[in-house]
C-alpha cells in the first residue's frame, strides 16, 4: 500500500511508508525510551531494540572494534611489518588509485613517519596499468625494496606477486578472494574465501587500521609504544564512506569518531581540500561521499594517480593547498567528461530497457576514469545494478555498482572464472571488469542471469521510502540533532526521510543553476524552508514554482541550515505530490 495514497508523485514515484513491524517496534521504543517519536521510527527501521538503543545512540569504538587477530594472517602481517621497521628495511606501498587505496597508503605513511621511517608510494596509472599490481611494477619495486605492502588490491594478483622476487609481500585488502591466494608472506582480507565473513563489510583502510592496532599491541608486548591511532581515524572515515561500505556496526563507530577527528582540522590535506571545496560547516558523512571523496578520486580518474594519496599524507600546508587546487581542477574536468558519457550511456540504457535485472551500456572511447561514476548514476536512477564499459581496440574496461541485497562482485568474479570476462573482481557494491569486445553481449547476458537469481530487478525503480509524517511546526533544530544521533547515515543506513503533509507553497523562486527555494505553510501559522536541488532538471521545479495555490505532500530530509550565524531547519526536498489528487 502506498504512503499517503501517493501511487505516482510529481517525479513518477510511489511512496512507501514504514513496514507494520517497524511501526510496532517504534511504538515499543517510544514506550521504553525517552526519545522523540520520529527518532524511534528511524531506530526501528535500523533494527534497534529498546534494550540496545542507548548503546546504539552512543557507540563506543572500544566495544565495537573487532580483535585484529580474528582475521587470518593478521599476526604475522603485523610482525613482518614491525620487523621491517626495526631493521630499517626498505618498504614500498602499492596502493589502488581510489580513495580507499589512497587513505590506506596515507595511514601507513603517517604511522611510519611517526616512527621515524619512510616508504616508497606506488600507485598505478588507471589507463596505462589498470587496477592492482602488475608484473613490471612489482618486479621493479622488488629490486629496490625488502617489503612490499599491497593495500586495497593484491588478493587476485598471483602472477604480479610471484614476479616480486627478492622482496616479501603482504596484502591488506577487502576485495573478494579466489579459490587460491597469491604466494606471499600474508594476505589479510575479510573477504578471503576461508574467512567467516563476519567482517566482510570492512573497507581496506579499516583492514590497514586493524593491522596497525595489532602492530601497536605487539609493540606494547615488547615494552615499546606506537603512534596515536585515534588521530588517524579521519582517514578511515573518509575511506569507509567513499568506498560505499555499509555504515553498520564498527563502520558506523569508525565514521562517527573519524568525523570528530576531521572536525579538528589537523590534517593539512583534508583542511586544504575542505577549503577549496568551500566547505564551511563541520563535515558530515555526506561531505565525505559527495564533496571530499570525489576530489581525492579525481587524480586517479583523469590525472596523476598518486595525487590523492599524496594529499592525504602530506604535512606541509603549502603543498596541501597546491595539491588540493590541482585535484579540484581535475574534478571539474572529470565532471565535464562524466556528463558526456552519462548522457550517451543513459540514452543507450533506455533503448535497451531500464527494467531488466541489469542496466548496462558500453561506448567507444568512454574514459575509464568516469565509467564507475556513470554506473552509479544509472544505479541510482533505476534501483538496479548497473555496469558501464569503455571500449578501446579489442577490449572493454568497465565498472559496476550494485544495490542492497545483490552481490555484484561475486557475480562478476564468477563470470571471470567461467571465462566470460578477461578479468573481474570487486566487492558486494562495486566491481571492475575487462571483457573482450566480441564477448560483450554474451557476458552481459550471463551477468544479467546471475544477478536475476539474486533478486535484482524485482524492486520498483520508482519507490521512495519514507519514515513517517511530520508537520512544519515540529521541525526544529533540536529534532534534527536528535535524529543525527542515529547516524552517520549512508550505505546500509539511509538518512531519515519524512513527508510534510498537506502544506501550501507560500514562496518559491529559482536559485543558482536550476535549484528551487521554497517556504512551506501548514495553514496553522508554522512555516518551513525547503530547497530542491536541480529541481528544474525534472518536473518538480515547474510544478512547485507554479503551484502556490495548491497543497502538496512533500518528502525529504531535514537538515540544519547555518547562515549569518543563525541556525534553522530546512527540508532538502526529494519529491512531492498533490495533497488532493486531480479529479
Other residues' Cβ atoms within 10 Å of the Cβ of residue 563: 8
- Between helices 408-418 and 440-453, what is the axis angle to 10°? 130
Q: Which residues contact 528 (CB under 8 A, 6 or more apart)?
A: 472, 475, 500, 503, 519, 520, 522, 569, 570, 571
Indicate the helix (H) or strand (E) that contains 389: strand 386-392
Indicate the helix (H) or strand (E) that contains 104: helix 99-114
Q: Is the dihedral of CA 217, 223, 224, 225 positive or negative?
A: positive
pTM flag (> 0.85): yes
- Which grid coordinates belong to 193? 574465501
pLDDT at 583 (0 to 100): 46
| Backbone angles phi and psi of 27, in degrees to 5 | -65, -40
Over pLDDT 90: what percentage of the chain? 85
Other residues' Cβ atoms within 10 Å of the Cβ of residue 293: 23
DSSP 66: P
CB distance 29 to 18 below 8 Å: no
From the list 564, 518, 566, the residue with the least C-alpha distance to 541 is 518
Q: How far apart are CA 435 and CA 395, in angstroms?
A: 6
pLDDT at 404 (0 to 100): 85
Other residues' Cβ atoms within 10 Å of the Cβ of residue 65: 16
pLDDT at 461 (0 to 100): 60
DSSP 223: T
Q: How far apart are CA 240 and CA 285, in angstroms?
A: 10
Q: Is the dihedral of CA 6, 9, 14, 19 positive or negative?
A: negative
DSSP 490: B
- b/e for 182-214, b at 16 or more Cβ within 10 A? bebbbbbbbbbeebeeebbbbbbbbbbbbbbbb
From the list 532, 526, 485, the residue with the least C-alpha distance to 502 is 526
- Which grid coordinates belong to 63? 566495544
Other residues' Cβ atoms within 10 Å of the Cβ of residue 423: 16
Structural domains of the chain, with CATH: 3-17+466-578 (2.40.50.460), 64-327 (3.90.1640.30), 353-453 (3.10.310.30)
Q: Which residues of the chain have pLDDT under 70?
A: 460-462, 547-549, 581-583
Indicate the helix (H) or strand (E) that contains 509: strand 498-511
CB distance 157 to 182 below 8 Å: yes
Coil, helix or strand at residue 319: helix
Q: What is the pLDDT of residues 167-218, one digit of tens each?
A: 999 999 999 999 999 999 999 999 999 999 999 999 999 999 999 999 999 9
Coil, helix or strand at residue 427: coil
Coil, helix or strand at residue 120: strand
Amino acid at each position: 500500500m502506498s504512503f499517503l495514497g501517493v501511487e505516482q508523485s510529481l517525479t513518477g514515484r510511489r511512496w512507501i511508508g514504514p513496514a507494520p513491524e517497524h511501526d510496532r517496534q517504534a511504538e515499543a521504543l517510544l514506550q521504553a525510551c525517552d526519545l522523540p517519536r520520529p527518532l524511534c521510527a528511524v531506530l526501528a527501521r535500523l533494527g534497534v531494540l529498546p534494550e540496545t538503543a542507548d548503546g546504539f545512540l552512543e557507540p563506543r569504538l572500544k566495544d565495537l572494534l573487532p580483535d585484529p587477530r580474528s582475521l587470518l594472517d593478521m599476526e604475522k602481517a603485523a610482525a613482518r611489518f614491525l620487523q621491517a621497521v626495526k631493521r630499517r628495511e626498505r618498504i614500498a606501498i602499492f596502493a589502488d588509485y581510489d580513495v580507499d587505496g589512497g587513505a590506506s597508503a596515507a595511514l601507513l605513511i603517517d604511522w611510519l613517519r611517526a616512527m621515524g621511517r619512510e616508504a616508497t608510494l606506488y600507485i598505478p596509472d588507471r589507463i596505462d596499468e589498470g587496477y592492482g599490481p602488475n608484473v613490471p611494477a612489482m618486479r621493479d619495486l622488488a629490486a629496490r625494496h625488502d617489503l612490499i605492502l599491497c593495500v586495497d588490491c593484491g588478493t587476485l594478483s598471483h602472477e604480479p606477486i610471484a614476479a616480486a622476487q627478492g622482496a616479501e609481500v603482504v596484502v591488506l585488502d577487502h576485495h573478494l578472494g579466489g579459490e587460491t591466494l597469491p604466494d606471499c608472506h600474508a594476505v589479510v582480507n575479510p573477504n578471503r574465501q576461508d574467512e567467516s565473513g563476519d567482517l566482510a563489510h570492512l573497507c581496506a583502510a579499516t583492514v590497514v587500521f586493524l593491522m596497525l592496532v595489532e602492530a601497536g599491541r605487539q609493540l606494547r608486548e615488547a615494552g615499546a609504544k606506537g603512534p596515536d591511532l585515534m588521530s588517524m581515524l579521519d582517514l578511515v572515515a573518509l575511506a569507509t564512506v567513499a568506498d560505499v561500505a555499509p555504515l553498520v556496526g564498527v563502520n558506523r563507530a569508525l565514521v562517527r569518531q573519524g568525523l570528530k577527528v576531521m572536525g579538528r582540522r589537523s590534517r593539512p590535506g583534508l583542511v586544504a581540500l575542505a577549503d577549496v571545496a568551500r566547505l564551511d560547516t563541520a563535515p558530515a558523512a555526506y561531505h565525505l561521499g559527495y564533496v571530499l571523496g570525489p576530489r581525492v578520486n579525481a587524480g586517479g580518474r583523469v590525472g596523476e594517480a598518486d595525487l590523492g594519496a599524496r594529499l592525504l599524507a602530506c604535512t606541509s600546508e603549502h603543498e596541501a593547498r597546491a595539491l588540493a587546487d590541482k585535484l579540484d581542477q581535475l574534478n571539474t574536468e572529470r565532471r565535464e567528461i562524466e556528463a558526456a558519457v552519462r548522457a550517451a550511456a543513459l540514452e543507450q540504457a533506455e533503448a535497451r530497457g531500464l527494467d531488466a535485472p541489469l542496466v548496462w551500456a558500453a561506448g567507444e572511447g568512454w574514459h575509464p576514469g568516469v565509467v564507475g561514476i556513470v554506473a552509479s548514476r544509472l544505479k541510482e536512477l533505476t534501483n538496479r545494478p548497473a555496469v558501464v564499459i569503455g571500449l578501446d581496440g579489442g577490449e572493454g574496461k568497465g565498472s559496476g555498482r550494485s544495490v542492497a541485497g545483490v552481490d555484484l562482485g561475486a557475480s562478476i568474479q564468477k563470470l571471470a572464472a567461467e571465462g566470460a570476462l578477461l578479468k573481474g573482481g570487486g566487492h558486494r557494491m562495486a566491481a571492475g571488469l575487462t571483457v573482450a569486445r566480441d564477448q560483450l553481449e554474451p557476458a552481459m547476458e550471463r551477468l544479467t542471469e546471475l544477478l536475476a537469481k539474486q533478486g535484482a530487478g524485482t524492486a520498483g525503480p520508482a519507490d521512495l521510502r519514507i519514515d513517517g509524517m511530520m508537520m512544519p511546526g515540529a521541525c526544529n533544530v533540536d529534532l534534527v540533532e536528535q535524529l543525527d544521533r542515529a547516524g552517520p547515515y549512508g550505505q546500509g543506513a539511509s538518512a531519515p526521510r519524512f513527508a510534510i503533509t498537506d502544506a501550501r507553497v507560500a514562496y518559491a523562486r529559482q536559485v543558482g543553476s536550476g535549484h528551487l527555494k521554497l517556504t512551506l505553510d501548514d495553514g496553522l501559522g508554522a512555516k518551513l524552508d525547503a530547497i530542491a536541488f536541480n529541481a528544474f532538471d525534472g518536473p518538480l521545479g515547474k510544478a512547485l514554482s507554479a503551484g502556490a495555490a495548491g497543497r502538496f505532500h512533500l518528502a525529504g530530509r531535514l537538515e540544519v541550515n547555518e547562515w549569518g550565524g543563525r541556525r534553522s531547519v530546512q527540508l532538502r526536498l526529494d519529491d512531492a505530490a498533490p495533497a488532493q489528487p486531480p479529479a
